[in-house]
Amino acid sequence: MLRRTRLFGQKTRVTFTLPLDEPSGVVSVVGDFNDWRPGRHELLRRRNGTRTVSIILPPGVHRFRYLATGGLWFDDETADHVDHLGSLVHL
């Protein structure tokens, strides 16, 4: 799930949220905003039974995917668009 929060100026905080244990193991969000580097934005466990990470992004269209332990790549069905190259968020 994606949550957007407008910040002062034109930037937006995007919070990426997944269930605590689906998929199991470590999950990070990778995309054009972090040069597709796994582990840079790892989702962290929260008390409410989820795991999240927030990233401040400039206006535009950003492509991303999730990468889980074992090399499992997957997309976010709540993204603005999903195609064969991954998920898109429009800001």
**How would DSSP label each residue in 45-66?**
E-TTSEEEEEEEE-SSEEEEEE
From first to last of its 91 residues, what are the pLDDT tens digits of the chain? 999 999 988 999 999 999 998 899 999 999 999 999 999 999 999 999 999 999 999 999 999 999 999 999 999 999 999 999 999 999 9
Say if pTM beats, i.e. exceeds, 0.85.
Answer: yes
Separation CA 30–CA 36 (nearest Å): 5
The fold adopted by the segment(s) 2-90 is Immunoglobulin-like (2.60.40)
